[in-house]
Chains A and B, each alone.
Chain A
Amino acid sequence: MTLTKTLAAVLPTPGRLGYRFNLAGRTGLCVIAFWALIAVFGPLMSPYAPGEIVDWDYFSPMSGQFWLGTDYLGRDMLSRILMGARYTVGISLAAVAITVTAGVLLGMTAAVIGGWFDMVLSRLLDALNGIPSLLFGLVVVAAVGSSIPVLVLTLAAIYIPGAYRYARALAVNINTMDYVTVARARGETTFYLATREIFPNILGPVLADLGVRFIFIVLVLSGLSFLGLGVQPPNADWGGLVRENLEGMSLGAPAVIFPSVAIATLTISVNMFIDNLPVKIRDRSE
């Protein structure tokens, strides 16, 4: 009792920090939370094993026995989508975490050090930005083969230049502030300047950027899996589920519709959430 009370008093809830989410933002947040829970607990709730053939018929419609129908081999679609959530959400989250961490670290370092270091790094990463994202994934996966670590690292590498560019632009603005100049005059190290003076002040926009990159990564991962280069059978993420059941499209099978719906709800809700973030988080300069 007292513990929950003290926790509630310490937790930085939106209300205490002085901002609120509007309806669209809350809806988005709810859907995101829903898929996050599914990714963690979904496979425990699934009625059948995702790889098990449970129906003699293939592409069967929705029924009481198979809520979302069955796929091209007669496997239960609900179980496969619940398991697919783990792949899609998990791989994308891991990749986006690496992307944004690397982008922010490099961006802040470039902004604080400046000079030739900044110029060379920016030019190099800008050049990598000139490779279309899906193509980058195609080439790398063609070269080293597809496995989950390769997918995570490739997806992360694709978006590091973008995350860097964004973080650097934010950090450069903060870097000109008086308090940073003062800290520098005090003789603080680069590490101190980046972590103590700059990072807290770019955190909000960086989190918004994390959401945007997450959407991009989900889209590219789904695209790669759709081309057969992502998560390999018998496992499948949502893009892979669309691919393997594509023949069922002419039958209007739920097996091809529901994985698509899953991807769309996830990406659209993240977009809704980001678009409706309170100004206070998105842009601290205002």
Chain B
Amino acid sequence: MSPSLLPWYYVGQRFAIALLTLLIISFTVFFATQLLPGDVAEILLGQAATPEAVAGLREAMGLNAPALSQYAGWLAGLAHGDLGTSYANRMEVSELISGRLANSLRLAGVTTLISVPFALALGILAAMYRGSALDRAISICTISVISVPEFMLATLAVLVFAVWLGWLPALSIGGNADTLGGLLKTYAMPVISLAIGVSAQMVRMTRAAVIETIQTPYVEMALLKGASRWRMVIGHALPNAIGPIANAIALSLSYLVGGVIIVETVFNYPGVAKLMVDAVATRDLPLIQSCAMIFCVSYLSLITLADIVAILSNPRLRR
């Protein structure tokens, strides 16, 4: 194989692995949720249903088919964008999800826009002044944030900004924000809590990536030749740290997937995660399965993206 094609070979391999992973995940999600005790047809029809009616509904819903063929049918439906019908209110799952998904994506997008520049700046600063008081302070803060559960960041944010300072409302009602101020107030709390969590990971990984390049001989050479600390880091170290940093960004963003579940619940934010947690409470299987797949797909895409960035940015593969 020609050397210039080598990175693309690895990228293709990553894609293949991601697809295989997705298949295994869908299998796990489907069969984990199928373990649900109780007969779905009985639950749907209620206690007054006759055995004949239950049997009829089971037949109509395809519940008598073997589990594997049910799985195949479900998977084929997913591929066509047919997510099934909600048990709880007979609505199309895709219809229930579409609006919520936009809300969640908006939340994730705003968080990304805020946390990436913030985290990169802090991470690079910490690496530049390694061992200084600033570095230690940043390090202590990020370790503390990583060590506490997501809901604590959210409750802490509520405590500080809503209870003690009284700046922001404790609940978020997304979508009905007409003015800029209202919009800010709606998003501020969930975004702040999410951004703190995401940034902490990103700062640590960025710091590690930059420090690794600073320790290479060519950067040391630049320092010996009299380049300033800023020039050494910005001009010499950073260009070669971009790959690992992009990798760190993608990996840290995968934290959003777990964080969003907690944050949407705490702030009552109308996103996919809130929908899913509510669906768990009502045991609405098709809804749980679809939401779970959405989360798994976004998580997997971010991880795969991180891998691909790492492959493409590796100069040893680019010759």
Partner of B155, one of A127, A135, A139, A246: A246
Find chain B residues with CB under 8 A from A256 CB. 155
Assuming the contacts A130-B299, A135-B296, asked whether A219 and B149 have C-beta atoms less than 8 A apart, the reply is: yes
Bound-state Cα–Cα, A250 to B162, Å: 8
Q: From known contacts A138-B277, A139-B32, infer whether A250 and B151 are also in contact, taking CB-CB under 8 Å.
A: no
Asked if A226 lies at the interface with its beta carbon under 8 angstroms from chain B, I say yes
Mostly helix, strand, loop or mixed at chain B's interface? helix
Assembly CA distance A141 to B170 (angstroms): 29
Scan B13-54; emit 1 where CB is below 8 A from any A CB, else 0: 000010011101100110011111100000000000000000
A143 to B279, CA, bound (A): 12
Q: Are B277 and A143 in contact (CB under 8 A)?
A: no
**Contact A128–B28 (Cβ < 8 Å):** yes
Q: Judge whether B149 and A223 touch: CB under 8 Å.
A: yes
**Residue B253 at the chain A interface, CB threshold 8 Å:** no
Q: Does the CB pair A249–B296 fall under 8 Å?
A: no
Interface pick from A57-65, A164-172, A184-192, A267-275: A267-275
Asked whether B24 lies within 8 Å of A127 as measured between CB atoms, the reply is yes
- B262 with A249: CB separation less than 8 A: no
A223 to chain B, nearest CB (A): 5
Residue in contact with B159 in the complex, picked from A123, A131, A215, A249, CB distance below 8 Å = A249
- Does the CB pair B151–A127 fall under 8 Å? no
On chain B, the residues within 8 Å of A52 by CB distance are none
Question: Chain B residues near A246 (CB, 8 Å)?
Answer: 155, 266
Instruction: State in angstroms the CA–CA spacing of A227 and B18 once bound together.
Output: 30
Please give me the residue from chain B that is nearest to A266 by CB atom. B147
A67→B295 CA distance, assembly (Å): 42
Which one of A130, A143, A252 has the highest number of Cβ atoms from chain B below 10 Å of its Cβ? A130
A128 touches B24 (CB 8 A): yes
Q: Which interface residue of B33, B148, B163, B170 has the most chain A CB atoms within 10 A?
A: B148
Partner of A142, one of B36, B152, B266: B36
Given A132-B295, A263-B152, 12 more A-B residue pairs with CB atoms under 8 Å apart are A123-B20, A126-B21, A132-B299, A134-B262, A135-B299, A142-B283, A219-B150, A229-B280, A249-B155, A256-B155, A260-B155, A268-B143
